[in-house]
Every structure is written in C-alpha cells, then in structure tokens.
C-alpha cells in the first residue's frame, strides 16, 4: 500500500504516521520528494486495510497495491478452475450450455424442455423453484414441489440441475435436490447467504448484480471461497445502463476482464441481459468468442404461455438452432462443447 501525505506535513507528523503503521506490525519505507512525502507500507496489506487512513489529517491519498480479493484471484491460482458436476464440466476450455425454463411450472413443461435441451446438446438443466419477482403478486415458483420435479427430470435425462436459492432457510431444501446452487443478481451481496452456500461445499453459480462492479462480483465470490469452497461459476447477466432497447446491457467486456483477474469459470446469461429472445443467439455467440466458459439460457416449450420471463425465452426449435450455430463456432474458436 502506498500512502501519499499532504504537502504541508511536518517531520513529526510523518514520524507519527509511521509509528502508527508500525504498531500494526508492518514496516514502512519513507520517500521524501521535493513536494510530497510518500510512505510505502511493507508487509501484509490486510493489516492496514481496515485502518481509516483517509481520515487521518496527514494523509492525502491511499493507493492499495494488492487486489482486495485473494482466493479467487489469478495470482493465487494460475490454472483455470474446472468444475465437474456429474458428467458436465464448467471451465477449463469447453463451452458448457445450461438451459431450461425460467421457472418450473409443471412436470410436463419441465420434462418436455429437458428432453429437448438434452437432445440439442445442453449439459446442465436450469429451472427456478424459488423465484425472485419484482411484484409480490407474480408467480413465486413452486418451491419444494419444483425442486422435486427438477430432481426427477434430472435423473431421467442425466442432466445436473442448477437452481436458485434466495434465502439461507432454503439451503437445506435446495441441497437435497440440486447439483449447483444459483445466487441471483439481487442476492449477489447478501453476504450471509454467500457464506452459508460456501459452507455447503456445493458448486455455486454466482450472478453479477445489475448495479455491481466486477470487483464487487469478485469480492462476493471471495466470501464463498473463504468458506473453503472454490467451486464457483461467475455469471455476467447484464447490468443496468441508460439503454432501454434491452432489459439490461450485456457487459461483454466483463468476460475478458474477469479472465485476466480470476481463475474461476465465467459464463453469461444472455436471456436476462437481453430481455428479448430474438437477440439471445447473437449474444451467446459473442460471449463464446469473448472467452466465456458457457451460457445459461432460458428455454420454454411455449414462451407465450410462460409464467415467468416468456419474452426472453427461446422456444425448443430456436434453442436447437442456436446449439447448431454454437457447435460450428466452437470448432472455429478452437474450443469444445461439454
């Protein structure tokens, strides 16, 4: 950490600042320039991070040298993390498609969707049993009944299941039926929930909040990793911008940026980014080329009758066509589908 002092500081004040830092068990390196004195803090940066340095009257600016996250960083682990869930692998070079309805509505709906996405080449089944809805009057999901249907269909088609857990109290139910726990955009900074899913040891699909920075996403992942669980899949699902043509703006840049910062796999959710099904295929292909490890795509046998997110859901044929296009592009990109 580098501390820039104010121009008018006296020698006594410089000494006082150094003393205070040494008290934390760290060393200092003072560099006195013509106009400014700079203090380099040597040692575990963590020890001074919690000090309110910017509130000290002698201090003008504090510049951390290290990233605030550690376990999820590329410096900590250079090789990409690949997450194995039954026969599916997320990360490590392949492009993994997770597909299914926004919410589980009935056995028939889920069965039909799972059969079609499996045949088309998806390797994970998605489906919400607990739905975070803006309106309390909208369909809230089938709850445990939905989880049971997910499990049943998952066994039938040998597709691991990813489903959202919205609350700490739901964890015990979700782990009974799901293979991957999804943390939704609205819960990305629900730190108690992150800690508790971390403790389960289950793979976690962590969605970026729609108003959160990339660094905040990585800090959220760090909460999970701190519990000894590095089975984390990061998901870019669109952020809020001034643009109204799409529900959110898919932050394509987040993919290569994250790849330079973390060893964790990065997937995209083009459905929630777009809010409209017509551009989902293009966004998925763009994500593959940008380096994503996979995509989470909403698919419904009859989008016009969907209880949740119909306008952004692909129908079964549209999904099959996208999978064909993806397979061609995966080869060109030197990747493989998993």
Q: Which residues bind ligand PEP (CB under 6 A)?
A: 102, 128, 132, 184-186, 207, 237, 269, 272
Shortest distance, CB of residue 68 to Mn ion, whole angstroms? 31
Site for Mn ion contains 269 (CB under 5 A) = no
Site for Mn ion contains 309 (CB under 5 A) = yes
Q: Position of tokens 């000090």?
A: 51
Cβ closest to ligand PEP, residue 128 vs residue 281: 128
Cβ closest to ligand PEP, residue 18 vs residue 273: 273
User: How many CB atoms are located within 10 Å of the residue 81 CB?
Assistant: 18
Across 1-116, the runs of DSSP E, i.e. the strands, are 2-5, 27-32, 37-42, 59-63, 83-85, 88-90, 94-100
Stretch that binds Mn ion, among 95-103, 182-190, 244-252, 261-269 (CB under 5 A): 95-103
Site for Mn ion contains 102 (CB under 5 A) = yes
Q: Dump the DSSP string for 188-256.
A: TT-HHHHHHHHHH---EEEEPPTT--HHHHHHHHHHHHTTT---EEEEE--B--S--SSSSB--TTHHH
Shortest distance, CB of residue 309 to Mn ion, whole angstroms? 4
User: What does each C-alpha distance from 80 to 13, 75, 232, 285, 296 come to in angstroms?
Assistant: 46, 11, 12, 21, 20
Cβ closest to ligand PEP, residue 21 vs residue 185: 185
Site for Mn ion contains 48 (CB under 5 A) = no
Cβ closest to Mn ion, residue 281 vs residue 303: 303
Cβ closest to ligand PEP, residue 199 vs residue 240: 240
Using CB under 5 A, list all residues that contact Mn ion: 102, 309
């Amino acid at each position: 950490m580098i501390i820039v002092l104010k121009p008018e500081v006296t020698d006594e004040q410089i000494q006082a600042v150094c003393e205070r830092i040494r008290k934390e068990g760290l060393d200092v390196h003072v560099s006195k320039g013509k106009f400014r004195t700079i203090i380099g803090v040597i040692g575990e940066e963590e020890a001074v991070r919690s000090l309110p340095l910017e509130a000290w009257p002698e201090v003008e600016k504090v510049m951390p040298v290290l990233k605030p996250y550690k376990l999820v960083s590329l410096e900590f682990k250079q090789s990409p993390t690949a997450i194995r869930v039954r026969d599916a692998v997320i990360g490590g070079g392949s492009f993994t498609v997770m597909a299914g309805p926004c919410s589980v509505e009935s056995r028939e709906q889920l069965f039909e969707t799972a059969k079609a996405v499996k045949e088309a080449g998806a390797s994970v089944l998605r489906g919400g049993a607990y739905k975070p809805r803006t309106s309390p009057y909208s369909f809230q999901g089938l709850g445990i009944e939905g989880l049971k249907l997910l499990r049943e269909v998952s066994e039938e088609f040998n597709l691991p299941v990813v489903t959202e857990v919205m609350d700490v109290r739901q964890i015990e139910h979700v782990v009974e039926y799901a293979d991957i726990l999804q943390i939704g955009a609205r819960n990305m900074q629900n730190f108690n929930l992150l800690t508790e899913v971390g403790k389960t040891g289950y793979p976690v699909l962590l969605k970026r909040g729609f108003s959160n920075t990339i660094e905040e996403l990585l800090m959220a992942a760090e909460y999970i990793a701190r519990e000894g669980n590095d089975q984390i899949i990061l998901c870019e699902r669109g952020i809020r911008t001034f643009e109204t043509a799409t529900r959110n703006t898919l932050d394509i840049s987040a993919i290569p940026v994250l790849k330079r910062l973390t060893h964790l796999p990065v997937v995209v959710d083009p459905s929630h980014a777009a809010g409209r099904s017509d551009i989902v295929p293009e966004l998925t292909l763009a994500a593959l080329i940008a380096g994503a490890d996979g995509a989470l795509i909403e698919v419904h046998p009859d989008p016009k009758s969907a209880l949740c997110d119909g306008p952004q859901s692909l129908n079964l044929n549209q999904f099959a066509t996208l999978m064909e296009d993806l397979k061609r592009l995966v080869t060109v990109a030197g990747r493989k589908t998993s």
